[in-house]
Amino acid sequence: MPQIADRLSRIKPSPTIAVSTKARELKAAGRDVIGLGAGEPDFETPDNIKAAAITAINGGDTRYTAVDGTPELKAAICEKFKRDNGLEYTPDQITVGTGGKQILYNAFMATLNPGDEVIIPAPFWVSYPDMVLLADGEPVAVPCMQSNGFKLQAEDLEEAITDKTRWVILNSPSNPTGAAYSYDEMKALTDVLKKYEHVMVLTDDMYEKLVYDGFEYVTPAQVEPSLYDRTLTMNGVSKAYCMTGWRIGYAGGPVALIKAMAKIQSQSTSNPCSISQAASVEALRGDQGFIARHNDVFKARRDMVVDMLNDCPGINCSKPEGAFYVYPSCEGAIGKSTPEGKQISSDEDFVTYLLESVGVAAVQGNAFGLSPYFRISYATSTETLKEACERIKKACEALK
């Protein structure tokens, strides 16, 4: 038997991937299951981006690249940061990884020592705490209540900061809630962070372009320029450009941090796929018009899902500013019993009931650090979402 490293005992497999896997297995076994666990757009990668990849293949762009990104892609990323966020970066301040997850992992591995703390607003993307644990850090979850729009409050941030705090993670719009910080809300947080020079800011902007109702997006270093030298601004092409499988994430930050992250990457994966990098150059520099068209569809789906879920007994669903998730409360179902007599004692019981009774696969709130909620991704067809919500209502009405 192989001996497994002790560090693995501190972490768990991704719950969101587990739900998607379970839904696929049930479908393969002939069950009628609607999977609402996957966090990826159902739109195809735009044709101009595909064409750029084909051109790169035909042009022989199939060899190793620089460890943390080609000069062309780094230049395009610099242009993007200046155009969209008013942030000036030079290529030596840019890193490119195999998805946003690698960027975050590299940052933690490059900076955390045993006992260092990372403040993580909850609910959070499921991978944040486990990546911190793998890097010997200590995740510090700060609950963000639905009454505050699932957003971190300045007083709660200040209370959580200690001498051991190394990073604060800010994710806007959020996975799993879709909550996004306005300028004033972000300014309240950056005003706190200005006072603590030992704390770095890791901002996960992956859903930046997926905002609705005229919401104006801001990122921390844009709101408070004095934080620029201690902020890692992370983004990627997965969500807005429908390129989840292409696996390209990127970030801008202090040169010393970027070099340290490149050192980690040089001894792990080395460079991201050369073809994916060429396609990402086109994504960032090419036509952006499809994003607004996609957002119109996402907004309509969001509105429908929120309305239908709020019509379900025991469910209370807020309307988020962005991303393609909703994070409804199932508190009204807790304590009730299924038609088979099983009591619903937690959000995990509730999503299990949905899967078993009506074939809807969602993700329980305790996976994201805040219960009793569940996450639904509305990045699937409108017809499928309508059917899923009708099934959820049926399941809720059957509870006693």
Alpha-carbon distance of 363 to 33, in angstroms, equals: 14
Q: Decide: 36 and 361 in contact? Cβ < 8 Å.
A: yes
pLDDT bin (cut points 50, 70, 90) of residue 67 is: very high
User: How far from chain centre, in Å, is Cα 43?
Assistant: 18
* The amino acid at 264: I
Alpha-carbon distance of 14 to 126, in angstroms, equals: 7
Q: Show the tokens assigned to 275.
A: 């073809």
Q: Strand pairing partners for 343? A: 337
pLDDT bin (cut points 50, 70, 90) of residue 38 is: confident
Q: Decide: 73 and 96 in contact? Cβ < 8 Å.
A: yes
Q: Decide: 240 and 42 in contact? Cβ < 8 Å.
A: no
Q: Show the tokens assigned to 362.
A: 């969602």
Tell whether the torsion through CA atoms of 310, 312, 316 and 321 is positive or negative.
negative
pLDDT for the residue 121 = 98
Q: Show the tokens assigned to 372.
A: 């009793």
Radius of gyration (C-alpha) of the chain in whole angstroms? 21
CB within 8 Å of 397: residues ≥ 6 apart = 312, 313
Going by C-alpha positions, the residue among 244, 241, 251 that lies closest to residue 81 is: 251
- Predicted confidence (pLDDT) per residue in 300-356, tens digit: 999 999 999 999 999 999 999 999 999 999 999 999 999 999 999 999 999 999 998
- Predicted confidence (pLDDT) per residue in 209-222, tens digit: 999 999 999 999 99
For 171, phi then psi, to 5°, come to -125, 110
Going by C-alpha positions, the residue among 247, 260, 178, 190 that lies closest to residue 221 is: 190
